[in-house]
Amino acid sequence: MKVIIFGATGTIGHALVREAIKRKHEVTAAVRNPQRMTEQSEYLTVVQADILNPNSVTEAAAGHDAIISAYGPTFGAEEELLEATRSLLEGTGRSGVGRILVVGGAGSLKTENGERLMDTAEFPEEIKPLAAARAEAFELYRTADVDWTYCSPAGMIEPGKRTGHFRIGLDHLVVDELGHSRISVEDYAVALMDELVAGEFVNSRFTVGY
């Protein structure tokens, strides 16, 4: 498939690029600063684009089978996530690309008692603004005129190993037998790339964890 990835130089975005290359997809990394993309491959094209500019999104995305957004705002600029979401949706609508896959957040996932993770007492106060912005962005995708898939990670996501073994959930947090919710960045990338091809969660949200 031919896929364009916005936010490709971030931790998750870079993992997605590597996983897509591994599967021999035609990958376009859409980044503000092309010099930050250190990955090299015959399957990779790097273009300069601004996800906050709908015209830039349209120009960069045209001709691709799908868009992946791994965009994440800097700390303290969480409101940019909503701006980026609106820009991405507007630009996509004009580009002719019919599907968006989104690297989402875990905060709006439900816990065992039905409470959102971001509303629990244990949820870190400092990341609540980002969780709230991601929850609002999720609602924007739910009403979008394009086919979308929103992939929420586990409660904890960090670099680790690519095992290819994990469990899939929908709107509830995936936890292990000890109640922990975690996934490696590498296995998250595997799950999202699996979905790119399988299309099992079109116009819905899914989550992944061990």
pLDDT tens across 140-185, in order? 999 998 999 999 999 999 999 999 999 999 999 999 999 899 999 9
Q: Report the distance separating Cα 14 and Cα 36, nearest Å.
A: 10
Q: What is the pLDDT of residues 46-90, one digit of tens each?
A: 999 999 999 999 999 999 999 999 998 887 888 899 999 999 999
Beta bridge partners of 182: 156
What value, to the nearest 5°, has the Cα angle with vertex 129 and ends 205 and 103?
30
Q: What does pLDDT average to over the chain?
A: 95
Q: pTM for the complete prediction? A: 0.94
Q: Report the distance separating Cα 105 and Cα 115, nearest Å.
A: 15
Give the pLDDT of residue 187. 98
Indicate the DSSP class of residue 58: H
The label of the residue with tokens 């045209």 reads 62
Q: What is the pLDDT of residues 83-140, one digit of tens each?
A: 999 999 999 999 999 899 999 999 999 999 999 999 999 999 999 999 999 999 999 9
CA distances from 195 to 25, 37, 138, 198 (A): 13, 24, 18, 5
CA distances from 171 to 114, 140, 156 (A): 10, 16, 16
